[in-house]
Amino acid sequence: MPAEKPADVPGGTAGQTFTVDEFLGLARSLDPAQVRLCAVLGRPVAHSLSPVIHHRAARGNPHFRYVRVEAGDTAELRELTSAAPACVGGYSVTMPGKPVALQIADTATARARAVGSANTLTPVRDGRGRPTGRWSAENTDVDGVTTCLNSVLGDAVPERAVVVGNGGTARPAVAALVARGVRHICVAARSERALGLRSLVEGGTGDEGESRTGATFSWVRLDSPELPGVCEDAGVLVSTVPEAAAGEHAGDLALAGAVVDVIYDPYPTRLMSAAGSLGRPVADGLLMLAGQGAEQFRLFTGSTASVSTMYSALREHLRLD
């Protein structure tokens, strides 16, 4: 982008929350040669911390703006993509729009398709950088989990891992563990809905019933007496459920060799505290948010963002330091 004539978004809109119509009206008022406008989409979205990390990554760049948009259903996401002016550089997508984002995109990465949802939408551009009207979907939540795994494991690849929960965040957690080369993943959940993750762990099966990914699957109920032993045998555990659910079993879950808890409200969670008291390496949901955000920022701008800088910005914003 040109370095001259710094662009101001009218009204000091950084981090503000807009309706779909308000956002598109703002975007139409901006010069695409001067401003790259991005947004996080969700419902509710006012609580999103995404503006914190993206504005920190863009510090010193007067041409980048990032706001919140209250949007989550199919019609709203279609309008935000089909009517987006050239200045729009992409969208972060939180719930409930992640499955919708994958559905409406013209193209998607293999991992977004495997996970079954997308948290990032970016306009496909031609050789001169002009938007083509087509949109691409990605799931950088996988990068966020990978960042956490790198933090607690270094280069180690544990034989066994546990994923707590079977919802939307559990899927990128499984994808990150499979990509790392973990050989067995046990899903700890309240019900047999955990079986829905089996195909993602195994990648389907071959002619002789073998796992295509090389990873095998099992599941255990959260209230099972087997849970402590399952966790103790695991090199790493990734919890994707709210504090109310994980905290009830924190002592058992913390027995894993390392712990990732994607929840950051409250902070610290009971699971984080229990794992820390046992001397286990711990990574939190703020690090996951920073890790996925850094890859989003690269997709939006073509520039590299520092995960550690984003993470520090979150801790400062939440007054955790």
**How far is the C-alpha of 172 from the C-alpha of 113, rounded, in Å?**
11
Catalytic (active site) residue 5: no
Given the residues 98, 160, 198, 280, the one annotated as active site: 98
Residue 270, exposed/middle/buried by CB under 10 A (0-12, 13-18, 19+)? buried
Beta partners for 278?
none
Q: Is 279 helix (H, G, I), strand (E, B) or coil?
A: coil
CA 45 from centre of chain: 15
**How far is the C-alpha of 275 from the C-alpha of 125, rounded, in Å?**
46
Cα 182 to Cα 106, 159, 251, 303, distances in angstroms:
32, 5, 24, 31
Residues recorded for the chain: 321
Active-site residue set: 98
